């Protein structure tokens, strides 16, 4: 299949199967819509590596908590079709909730270990919802590769562990975070912020870079590494910090780190009424990309 200006829109599993009959090597980009340049980067990567690129647009209710922003989460399918088409998508899969979770639906996917700390502790049940919908999408689309942004680092770790543990025949590709000029990681939720607030929210990435700089100077004590980031955050009164943490590849926090470990520094904070997350490799030469198959 080749890319067109406007991707084909399908809404049911039957339409999806028919559209993919002779699709060749399929790449999947799972999204909740309101696409931005970060999503476009995922689609563009898939375009270079696959014959057919499928973008799912589905606001998954099972990954939202009872007091989270499901009802006001931004939605604009017309915009999504334009962004996806310009980036090289062939198909948009946009199912209704009752298609993904029909009456009587009673199955849940739970990934232990990597889903427990940080986001898992702050948002109970969130990663069960993520794992469930991702597995359903992988089963429906049957891609050779699926593309996820590294901005949601713990989500990427959960998906990779699920795919490995359940022997799902797909390669999981992590794509580096795209940022605004302020350093703020691109997110659909950034639309909740004013331009001034988005500029100030760049403090999160500056805090991560301060931790990274301390590691580059040779610091390996986690408490001292994190203090470098906390000092930066203390200069911005709009930050309500949820966590700032250094974790290993299993999402476990460690008292000390070493040069060989795949460590990452993650932050989550509420600013101006919006919960924002971000992360960076502890050492710049470390990368999070990998197949995870």
Please check the confidence at residue 288 and state whether its pLDDT lies above 70: no
Check whether 146 has a pLDDT greater than 90. yes
- Of 38-47, 223-232, 249-258, the one with minimum mean pLDDT is 249-258
Please tell me the predicted confidence (pLDDT) of residue 260.
64
Given the candidates 1.10.10.10, 3.30.70.20, 3.40.50.620, 1.10.3720.10, the CATH classification of the domain at 8-175 is 3.40.50.620
Please state, in angstroms and rounded to a whole number, the distance separating the CA atoms of residues 35 and 101. 23
pLDDT of residue 284: 76
Q: What is the pLDDT of residue 152?
A: 97
Residue 72 confidence (pLDDT) above 80: yes
Q: Which residues are 31's β-sheet partners?
A: 57
The pLDDT of 277-286, averaged and rounded, is: 87
**What are the extents of the domains in the chain?**
8-175, 188-281
- Residue whose token pair is 């999503």: 39
**pLDDT confidence tier of residue 285, bands split at 50, 70 and 90:** low
- pLDDT number for residue 1: 57
Encode burial over 48-68: b for 16+ CB neighbours within 10 A, e otherwise. eebebbbbbbbbbebbbeeee
- Average pLDDT value for residue range 97-105: 98
36 catalytic, yes or no?
no
What confidence tens digit (pLDDT) does each residue in 258-280 have?
876 689 999 999 999 999 999 99
Residue 113, pLDDT above cutoff 70: yes
State how far the alpha carbon of 82 is from the alpha carbons of 4, 9, 77, 287, in Å: 11, 12, 9, 31
pLDDT at 202 over 90: yes
Rounded Cα distance, 95 and 92, in Å: 9
Which top CATH class is 188-281? alpha beta
How far is residue 229's CA from residue 154's CA, in Å, rounded to a whole number? 19
The yes-or-no verdict on residue 287 having pLDDT over 80 is: no
Transcribe 127-165 into DSSP letters: HHHHHHHHHHHHHHH--SEEEEETTSHHHHHHHHHHHHH
User: What is the structure's pLDDT at 218?
Assistant: 94
pLDDT, residue 289, reads 40
Q: What is the mean pLDDT of residues 151-173?
A: 98
- Quote the pLDDT of residue 293: 30
Is the pLDDT at 245 greater than 50? The verdict is yes
Average pLDDT along the chain: 94
Q: Quick one: average pLDDT of 212-223?
A: 96
Structure tokens at 92: 């948009």
> pLDDT band at residue 4, thresholds of 50, 70 and 90?
low
Can you say whether the dihedral through the CA atoms of 120, 54, 87, 10 is positive or negative?
negative
Residue 3's pLDDT band, with cuts at 50, 70 and 90, is: very low
């Amino acid at each position: 299949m080749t890319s067109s200006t406007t991707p084909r829109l399908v809404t049911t599993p039957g339409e999806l199967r028919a559209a993919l009959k002779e699709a060749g090597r399929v790449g999947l980009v799972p999204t909740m819509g309101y696409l931005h340049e970060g999503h476009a980067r995922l689609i563009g990567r898939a375009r270079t590596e696959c014959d057919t690129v499928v973008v799912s647009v589905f606001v998954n209710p099972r990954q939202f908590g009872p007091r989270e922003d499901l009802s006001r989460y931004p939605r604009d399918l017309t915009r999504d079709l334009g962004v996806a088409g310009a980036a090289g998508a062939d198909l948009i899969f946009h199912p209704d909730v009752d298609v993904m979770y029909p009456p009587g639906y009673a199955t849940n996917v739970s990934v232990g270990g990597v889903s427990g700390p940080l986001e898992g502790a702050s948002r109970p049940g969130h990663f069960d919802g993520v794992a469930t919908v991702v597995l359903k999408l992988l089963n429906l689309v049957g891609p050779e590769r699926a593309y996820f942004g590294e901005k949601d680092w713990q989500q990427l770790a959960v998906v990779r562990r699920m795919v490995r543990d359940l022997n799902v025949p797909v390669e999981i590709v992590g794509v580096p975070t795209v940022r605004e000029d302020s350093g703020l990681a691109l997110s659909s939720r950034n639309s909740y912020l004013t331009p001034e607030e988005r500029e100030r929210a760049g403090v999160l990435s500056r805090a991560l870079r301060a931790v990274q700089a301390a590691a580059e100077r040779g610091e390996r004590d986690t408490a001292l590494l994190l203090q470098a980031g906390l000092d930066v955050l203390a200069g911005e009164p709009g930050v309500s910090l949820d966590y700032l943490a250094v974790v290993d590849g299993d999402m476990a926090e460690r008292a000390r780190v070493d040069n060989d470990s795949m460590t990452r520094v993650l932050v989550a904070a509420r600013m101006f009424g919006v919960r924002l997350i971000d992360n960076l490799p502890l050492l710049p030469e470390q990368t999070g990309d990998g197949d995870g198959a």
